[in-house]
Structure formats: C-alpha cells, structure tokens
A and B are shown apart, each in its own frame.
Chain A
Amino acid sequence: QKEVEQNSGPLSVPEGAIASLNCTYSDRVSQSFFWYRQYSGKSPELIMSIYSNGDKEDGRFTAQLNKASQYVSLLIRDSQPSDSATYLCAVGGMDSSYKLIFGSGTRLLVRP
C-alpha cells in the first residue's frame, strides 16, 4: 500500500515567521511531488511541483525534496494570515496512469 504521511496539525506560526510543512512517502520509485493549498470550502490549488532532489523556490514558497530519505517539505517564508489553509502533499509514481496519492494534509494557522 503506497502511503503519504503528513502531520495533521494544526501548525501555528506568528505572522512573518517561516512555516515548515513536512511529508514522507513510502514508494521509493515515486518521481513527482506536489504541494496543494486548500482553503476551507474550496478545492485544492497546486502551488508547487518538484521532481529532483534539492530545493525549488517560487516567491515565498520553497519545496525541498530528498529522495534518499523519502521526504518532501514546503517552507513558507514571511507567513501571512492569508496562508492559513490546509496543505496537501501529493506523490506520483512511475506508472503510466498519472495517479497521485494524497496525504491527509497539514492545517496551517498563521496568527496576526
């Protein structure tokens, strides 16, 4: 059973701080990794994709991937109250079906 694990939170950080969200996955051959943001009552929104080891930065967001440790993280710099949401980690495998396996999500709360 392929699994993606996340701490459910809530992770509470003060405004302006760095929020660090973590995700581990069980399928060693996974090749694609994604972070989605989901506001309450809304559908998931793709915010970051990463495919190779290392860091990928996009604005205030940095995704980090370590395939050896089967670990992917999302850093949010200068956190804003508008970043308060549930963040879903998703992992894609090597098969041709393009399926993604989603973690249960981490709820982030940014305190003003």
Chain B
Amino acid sequence: SAVISQKPSRDICQRGTSLTIQCQVDSQVTMMFWYRQQPGQSLTLIATANQGSEATYESGFVIDKFPISRPNLTFSTLTVSNMSPEDSSIYLCSVEKGTGGSYNEQFFGPGTRLTVL
C-alpha cells in the first residue's frame, strides 16, 4: 500500500475564496487521483493527475474551477477556486499502487473536509 497525507484536514472558507489541498505520498507513484465525496454520497472522480502532463478531468469538472498540479511523483495539489456552498464536501486524493499480481488498486488519503459559508 502507501502512506498518504493530506493538508489541511479540514477548513471553513468564505464563498468566493480559493483553497489549495496538498497530497503527499511516501513513495513514488505514477497515478494520482482526486475525488469528491459529498455528505451521504459515494465517491466522484474529479480528475486524474499524472506527473509531467496535464490533469485529465471528468465530465462536469473543469480546470478553471479545480486546477491541479503534479510537480513530482510524490506530490499533488488540488485547488478549489471561487468557492460556493455547493463545494462543501470531503476531498480525497488517492494513488494507484499495484503490487505483485494486483493492479488498479487505489489507496486513499485521510481526506480534507471543506465547509464553504
């Protein structure tokens, strides 16, 4: 597996502001992912972040709203821009870390709980 940390663990923000969430992994990984989980809901993939290339966004998510950086193989950031109360959610990063005969296994960070007032 992998040890993943996220900062901040939680934040309360005012509408119209931006928040950058950091994700740090203890080993080099190719694939990193950013998800959103709204209260009582399942996980929704925002984007896939590969080192050295532009992030790939899922339908309904755009780079202007959720810019992502992936400067190296152990770190990524997700910015939630021009926030509104609808952005209140838990934001999770994950990494793909297949070992041996396994593949596609994803391991999650502890999440960032965002509340927008």
A: residues with CB less than 8 A from B are 31-32, 34, 42-46, 49, 51, 88, 90, 92, 97-100, 102-105
Q: Quote the shortest CB–CB distance from A74 to chain B (angstroms).
A: 16
Q: A43-B110, A43-B111, A98-B31 are in contact. Are A105 and B42 (CB under 8 A)?
A: yes
- Nearest B-chain residue to A103, judged by Cβ: B42
Cβ of A49 and Cβ of B109 under 8 Å apart? no
Cβ of B42 and Cβ of A34 under 8 Å apart? no
B: residues with CB less than 8 A from A are 1, 31, 33, 41-43, 45, 48, 56, 92, 96, 101-111
- Nearest B-chain residue to A105, judged by Cβ: B42
Q: A46-B106, A49-B105 are in contact. Are A97 and B56 (CB under 8 A)?
A: yes
For B103, the chain A residues whose CB sits under 8 A away are 32, 51, 98
